[in-house]
Structure formats: structure tokens, C-alpha cells
Structure 1
């Protein structure tokens, strides 16, 4: 996947662990040091460096010399989708009797295996909710079959 076609991602490109890296960096809103990522995600520094290199090679991250990493445009779009996917799926689970905490925990177990197309269809069927149990839901990239509410 390259920068030109990042809107074409399926949502299934990354492992759950690599998705955690992108969400963490998005949450930090800027350049993040490798040591901070290792510490907060409780990952060995050598594993963190290897994973960040793989994400950078794939076009999701920029290495900022002596400072750490930040998201590329593609990485930011993908990370925003990851957050949106979690929030849509968690909200769906609360509609079926799960508490907020239960919904977040349950969705965290399987969300990496739910495609962007499936998330868009669920979002569409829910009327494009603006707020989920975990926060605001973005809809910039959520136009399915030309419908947007």
C-alpha cells in the first residue's frame, strides 16, 4: 500500500499489535519517542524499534531524526479508522446489553479482524452516530454507497 491509494485500505492490513502503535501515536498528536512507546505499550525497546521500522517502511510513519516517529498522512488516516472501528463496534455491543467497559474489552479482542467495509455498513445501519461509548465518532471517510446522514 502506498501513499497514493491509502484510501483503498481494507482495515485488515495490520496486526493488532501494530494497530496499537498507530493508535498510541495518533493519541499523542505529534512526534513520539521510541522510549515512550516502549514504556507505555510495555514492549521491549528492540521490539519497538523493529516494529516502528516496519511501519515506516510500509508508509505509516516518518522517522524524525533524534526525536522519534510521527504519522504520515496515510498513517493518520489508518489510525483514525482504527479508532473509529473501535468506537462503532463498542457502541454496537452496548446496544446488545454490554456495559461500556464490557463492550470495549470484548471489541478489543477481535476488532483487528473486522474490515473497513463491514464497519462502514454497520455505521450506515446505525445512522452514522456521532458519539460512541469511547468518544466522538469521525465520519470523514465513512461514505458507503453514496449515503451520508
Structure 2
């Protein structure tokens, strides 16, 4: 259940909004009800259902009728990358004078447009930091990728 099993993704596959859905589902753990996602993300239930169906169709989620959704193995690996990307970019911005809160907020506005390759290079140039402003940073995937270049 790790990123290296999915070498084909670039990190640019999803919109910022869909990224929010996956991160929320990972944070909640297990099966998450559609109504809870709508409520927390402040999205109309019909829009939530449509988005969840798109994510399920793309292989990121399992949709369990009348129960909710959970992440597929690929969805979990992808979401782990999304969290790693957020934490690396947030940490990077704190090196340039932004507070932790400012860095986290700024990164949330543009992170969906930063590729996996760029993240791995930034992470490597930073010496593979273990902890960012938003939490622990995983490196298994980043270090694995480096060996193949």
C-alpha cells in the first residue's frame, strides 16, 4: 500500500477539490458517509455524490451503497503522496519567512499543480526532512524513486 507500486501517477491527476475529498477520507479512516463529506467540505450532497462517483470510477475509492466510501489501495497510496507533497511544500515555504500557518494556507492554494517529480527533487534537495510544519514526512517512496534515476 505504498506509492512505489503506482509509478505511473504524476501527482497532477486531480483537481484541488478532489484532493480535499481524498485527504478527508484518509484522515477519517475506514468508511465515510457521503453526508459527512458534504457537511464538512460544505458541498451540496448531489455534487458530493457526483465527485465521489468520479473518484470511484478512476479507481481511488470504493463506493459502498448506503454506507459511504473508503479508499482503494491505489487511493490510499495516492493520498499518502498528497499529504507528503503538502508537508514538503509547507516546510519549504517556512524556510522563506512564512509562519507554519501561512505556509500551510498558501500551499493549500497551489499544491495540486506541483508534480510528483518536482516534489521528489525538492525533498531530496532538502535532505529528506523527517518532520514538516504539518506533521511527519514519509520518504520510502522518494528515496526509492531516486535510486532509479
User: After TM superposition, is the score higher than 0.5?
Assistant: yes
> SS at 1:63's partner residue?
strand
**Offset at residue 141 of structure 1 (A):** 1.4
Partner Cα distance (1:49, 1:140) in 2: 34
**Offset at residue 109 of structure 1 (A):** 1.1
Partner Cα distance (1:140, 1:68) in 2: 31
**Offset at residue 138 of structure 1 (A):** 1.1
**Offset at residue 6 of structure 1 (A):** 2.9
Q: Which runs of 5+ in 2 are unaligned?
A: none
1:55 aligned onto 2:55: yes
> SS at 1:145's partner residue?
helix
Normalised by the size of structure 1, how large is the TM-score?
Answer: 0.92
1:145 aligned onto 2:136: no
Matching residue of 1:8: 8
Shifted more, 135-144 versus 59-68: the winner is 135-144
Matching residue of 1:133: 133
Normalised by the size of structure 2, how large is the TM-score?
Answer: 0.92
Indicate the structure whose relative CO is greater, using CA pairs within 8 Å and at least 6 residues apart. Answer: 2
Partner Cα distance (1:7, 1:38) in 2: 31
Q: Which runs of 5+ in 1 are unaligned?
A: none
Listed one character per residue, the Cα deviations across residues 54-98 of structure 1 (whole Å, up to 9, x for unaligned) are 000000000123210000000001101111100000000001111
**Offset at residue 101 of structure 1 (A):** 0.7
Q: Tell me how large the CA RMSD over aligned residues is.
A: 1.2
Partner Cα distance (1:142, 1:12) in 2: 17
Matching residue of 1:34: 34
- How many residue pairs match? The answer is 143
Partner Cα distance (1:80, 1:33) in 2: 21
Partner Cα distance (2:6, 2:17) in 1: 20
Runs of at least 4 residues of structure 1 off by over 3 A? none
Partner Cα distance (1:99, 1:40) in 2: 26
